[in-house]
Structure 1
Amino acid sequence: MSSPYCCPHCKTNRTRFNVINQVATPVRMDAHSGEITKSDQEALDAFHMPYKGPTVKVQCATCGLVEDEKMFVQFGAMPR
């Protein structure tokens, strides 16, 4: 987060953002009741793919767009 941001949607906001930290928790649910039967590392088995998405998302506090941090960084590096 040491790079300047610019919203790729409204293209004017360079100062107001919400940083969203994503924490994925693997769970195993009962198919009929929806009750969680296992959580955390217990739920990972051979058929449970671990989360590989971004750990940080950014929301523009002007227009509300939520995107990966890299999109805001790319637009922030562009000349004004």
Structure 2
Amino acid sequence: MEEKPYFCPNCRSNRFKFSRITTFSTPFRKDAITGALLETDEPMLVPDEEDIIQCQVCQFAGNELRFIKQAEREPRTVTPVTSTYT
């Protein structure tokens, strides 16, 4: 995952809450006649070429670059605020 801001290209409101979707493979063995589960191994992470990101607001999922490019198109700027309270 890159250290760059995200912005959801679907709902265009979320810049904060996201999930990274990963895939796991769990090897197992079954009996050929009864179909009973005989043995299971530990799940293994399947490496992806590109991270899949999901917006936690609208549940849209896409590749990481899409979220990064949307944030670059509509950058968030820091607005200086002067306090009127003293």
TM bin, normalised by shorter chain, reads 0.5 to 0.7
The corresponding residue for 1:4 is: 5
Higher relative contact order (CA 8 A, sep 6+): 1
Deviations 1:4-55 (A, max 9, x none): 100000011111x333253465x8xxxxx8xxxxxxxxxxxxxxxxx89534
The corresponding residue for 1:19 is: 19
Pair 1:22–1:55, CA change in 2 (3 A): farther
Q: Structure 2: which 5+ runs fail to align?
A: 28-34, 36-45, 76-86
**TM (normalized to structure 2)?**
0.52
The corresponding residue for 1:62 is: 57
Whether the 8 Å contact between 1:21 and 1:55 is mirrored in structure 2 is no
The CA distance in 2 between the partners of 1:58 and 1:6, in whole Å, is 11
Following TM superposition, the consecutive aligned residue runs of length 4 or more in structure 1 with deviations greater than 4 angstroms are none
**TM (normalized to structure 1)?**
0.55
Whether the 8 Å contact between 2:50 and 2:64 is mirrored in structure 1 is no
Give the aligned CA root-mean-square deviation in angstroms. 3.3
| Count of residues paired in the alignment | 71
Say which structure is richer in helix. 1
Q: Structure 1: which 5+ runs fail to align?
A: 28-32, 34-50
